[in-house]
Structure 1
Amino acid sequence: MQMRMDTSLRRIEVSSEPGKIYFLRVTWEEDLGSGFSVDLCDGQSVWRGKVSEEEVSKEAQEMEMKRDIYVDELCQALTAGGKQTNNYSFDLSKDPADSHTLHFSYEKVLKDVFFKLGSAELHTISKPIEVIKELINHGLDRSSELRARNEHLLGENERLGRERDYVTEELKKYVQAKEVLEQDLYTRFVLVLNEKKAKIRNLQEKLKQAQEEVESELQHRGDTSTVESKAPAEQDYEGSTDEESIENENPRPSTSARGWDPPSRNQVAAISPQRNLQPQPGAPQTQKTSLMTSSPQCLWHNLTVPDCFVVKYIHVVGLFFLYDR
């Protein structure tokens, strides 16, 4: 099975003949490292040569370069990687022994320093017209391929441009819709926020009013308890005992109006100290019993001022009664 041949055609100038144009065609199967064929044409004559794989490896060893790197340099120099470059120089020299043989060399230029990459021995072809036709056909085919590729790229570019315009319009619509949506959401948010603020203010007012009511109720209760605590003391001073009420209802007759009648024994017993004393508010209920059952000394110390006068009166009446007897 015959393998497909790759071909590169480029235009070069040689340093030995400035201004003269040559066309260089390089053909290879796998890559330049496996060997390649060189055709050089000046428009009238054609020279052809071949570089074997062994020669490529030998040149790489002489330059102390790895084979892959050297093959890349050859591709840049002979095919220019599809681009025209000034980093490489070409030269032709005739063989003094054979006028139909040319020595074709190619070098790399680094800051005016030339490094020889390799050379090939070219021989004149007897029928250059066929090779020139092949070069023209290759150029036309390549031009057609590039034109078709260019048209394809132009079509892709137009399609991408239309898609870009469509996407731009859609994006503008989305941006407008987003702005409308944002405005709507912002308006709703403002309404909700204002409503929440109004509710918060209302709740704060209710809370403040409730606190004022609680404080007023507590102050009212405190004033009421203060008045109730003062009322019993005032009643103690303003009230009267049973003996005072009895004396007011039954006043004692004076001795100046008529003769004094001493009381009988029953009368003395009736006005004895066993009288009903009203207990003061808040005093324990056992106070009355203790007053009635206590000794005369304890009873005397527990009597109030009106009670003392009553007891004195009873004592005096008793003495008169005993004296009269």
Structure 2
Amino acid sequence: MKRSEFLKRFGIKLDMAVEAHDLIRGETGREIPGVKMDKQTFSQGEITVINIMEPLGAQIMGKPIGTYITIDAPVIRENNKLAHKEVTAKLAEQLGSILNLKPEDSALLVGLGNWNATPDALGPRVIHYSLATRHLRKYGPQEIFGVLRPVSALAPGVLGITGIETAEIIKGVVDRVQPNLVIAIDALAAQSVERIGTSIQIANTGINPGSGVGNIRAGITQEFLGVPVIAIGVPTVVNAATIAQSVLDQFMQQINQNPVLAKTVANLNPISVDQAIKNVLQPYQENLMVTPKEIDDLINNIGKIIAAGIGQALHPSVAPEDLEMLVH
């Protein structure tokens, strides 16, 4: 059974555009019409830019038309501050390439997620480490004008905590504060465990909170808010079903190298395999999400990297070390 069919049977959506692109191109063996991909490397990782330019490409990818930038940097897992600074600089560079803001334009940072659940606390953690400057226009020294962009920051919580749809809270703030741009940060679900805490996706298409874990909320998009929305996300969980399928795939590859064993399992019914996975996951309604035990450290590291990257992109005239000093 094709991987895409397996994901559909289990109702698993791919948050990462790069994973959807690799899956579709791998199964079809050809380029996706209306979609362009570019890759570049840097000393600590790789940057993949996927541009969905036509409705047909959007339909095939299951993603809106727009730009999706993925920074893959396994070094994020390590306690290497110098390497983290380079990842931060690359994040600021890529984010700056799609900001499209005038020097006097303002921005609203929104940290999506549940601060009480560590794998879902990325958004609030980024807000904790971010620099809010909008109030300084009124209460700060005059010399900051023209140096620090007006930035507001908000961690609105989740529906289960507030009883209010997150998108409604953000819409109310946007209507009142009237920013020129919203940057929403959220935790994502990945297909591969290798991407947990090491892949950063930037998209200019907005975001649908909770879609990767089957808990779709109202979309935080330009259509709903009335201003452009850039989404920044990092995978923090993987569906247990995809892990089980990956183990089975590797097991079958090893068996197929042995002609005798290959004949034994040649008639294995893929549907039966899927049903076995469903039976194991049944107590959790096939929606068991897995995260590493060191997720608290990963969330802390990534929160600092993303907050610093956003700060450098929004305040390009301020040196990174000065921004870090202002935050602290």
Instruction: Give the TM bin, normalised by the shorter chain.
Output: under 0.3
- State the structure with more CA Rg: 1
TM-score (norm 1): 0.19
TM-score (norm 2): 0.19
